[in-house]
């Protein structure tokens, strides 16, 4: 389908609703991870979440078997699996260390890293407006962390590592989805991450209880559902339409943290997260504008 055809079949309301469903799924998943507390090592929790989540890809086995991957694609999947494994372990650790709202707000940094990486490694342009938006996002991160005004905990450092690794992982997705079905890309990620985390989980293994397994299966269910809903949202509408909806995740996470985990509401975290998301939304909006110009070029319109 051409870009013009894709534009004609966009369904913005459906895209917003699917992104709302994705956001709710991710927030519930995060809260469930938080509820695990110190009852299980974060690395073992991460491993079991992905292992149990593999059941959702059984229907895709036929597609996986029929897909013929090149050596380069196998290499990308392997490298992505290693990087995403690190991201997942760091994220599960961060969840045991810092409030829910801070995890959610700092997670918004991932698209910023993707934008920077796309410019450095994929040849995408970095115009002045995009650079300004990145600077605003980084200011938002500094507002959340407030170095010098409070202690930067290992959880904060873990989240910085998480978003960096996630950014690299998503850059690799950007390359892979141009060649391979998204279902295969997501399934291969789950398989490789399960394998990647396994040795670390074995090193700290403690036999889980049935309630713990139940919570982990619920985490896997909401995570898989969230990724599926997000894919539907991206198919239905441009990222410029669906991206601002993700701000609701910060509101929901802040409320859950206050009402369920007694974490209180940190004004600076909300402010910093808002700045980061505003910068991301601006970047995605500019990308949408540029794509429309490519479809219907206007010689009188100045370039960025």
Q: What is the pLDDT of residues 70-83, one digit of tens each?
A: 999 999 999 999 99
Q: How confident is the model at residue 226 (pLDDT cuts 50, 70, 90)?
A: confident
| Listed range (20-29, 222-231, 242-251, 290-299) with the worst mean pLDDT | 290-299
pLDDT of 300 over the 50 cut = no
Q: State which H helix or E strand residue 187 sits in.
A: helix 182-203
Mean residue pLDDT across the chain = 83
pLDDT of 174 over the 80 cut = no
Q: How confident is the model at residue 149 (pLDDT cuts 50, 70, 90)?
A: confident
Partners of 150 in the beta sheet? Answer: 147
For residues 248-267, average pLDDT: 86
For residues 186-193, average pLDDT: 90
For residues 26-44, average pLDDT: 87
Beta carbons within 8 Å of 17's beta carbon, 6+ residues apart: none
Task: Write the DSSP string, 79-122.
Answer: HHHHHHHHHHHHHHHHHTTS-HHHHHHHHTTHHHHHHHHHHHHS
pLDDT exceeding 70 applies to what percent of the chain? 89
Task: Write the DSSP string, 30-87.
Answer: HHHHHHHTTSS-HHHHHHHHHHHHGGGGGGGHHHHHH----HHHHHHHHHHHHHHHHH
Between 66 and 130, name the one with better pLDDT.
Answer: 66
The token pair at 128 is: 């002045």
pLDDT at 290: 66
For residues 42-46, average pLDDT: 92
pLDDT of 114 over the 50 cut = yes
Confidence (pTM) = 0.80
């Amino acid at each position: 389908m051409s870009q013009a055809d894709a534009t004609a079949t966009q369904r913005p309301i459906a895209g917003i609703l699917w992104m709302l469903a994705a956001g709710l799924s991710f927030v519930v998943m995060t809260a469930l991870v938080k509820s695990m507390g110190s009852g299980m090592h974060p690395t073992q929790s991460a491993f079991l979440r992905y292992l149990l989540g593999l059941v959702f890809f059984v229907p895709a086995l036929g597609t996986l078997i029929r897909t013929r991957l090149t050596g380069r694609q196998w290499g990308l999947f392997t490298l992505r699996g290693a990087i995403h494994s690190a991201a997942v372990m760091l994220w599960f650790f961060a969840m045991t260390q810092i409030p829910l709202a801070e995890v959610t707000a700092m997670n918004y940094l991932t698209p910023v890293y993707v934008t920077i990486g796309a410019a450095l490694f994929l040849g995408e342009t970095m115009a002045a407006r995009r650079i300004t938006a990145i600077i605003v996002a980084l200011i938002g991160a500094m507002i959340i962390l407030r170095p010098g005004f409070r202690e930067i905990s290992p959880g904060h450092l873990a989240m910085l590592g998480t978003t960096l690794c996630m950014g690299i992982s998503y850059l690799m997705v950007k390359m892979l989805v141009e060649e391979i079905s998204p279902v295969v890309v997501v399934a291969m990620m789950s398989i490789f991450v399960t394998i990647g985390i396994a040795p670390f989980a074995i090193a700290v293994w403690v036999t889980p209880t049935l309630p713990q397994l139940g919570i982990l299966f619920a985490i896997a269910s909401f995570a898989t559902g969230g990724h599926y809903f997000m894919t539907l949202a991206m198919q239905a509408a441009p990222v410029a339409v669906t991206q601002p909806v993700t701000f609701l995740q910060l509101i929901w996470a802040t409320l859950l943290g206050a009402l369920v985990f007694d974490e209180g509401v940190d004004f600076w975290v909300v402010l910093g997260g808002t700045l980061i998301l505003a910068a991301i939304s601006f970047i995605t909006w500019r990308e949408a504008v540029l794509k429309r110009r490519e479809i219907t070029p206007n010689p009188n319109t100045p370039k960025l």
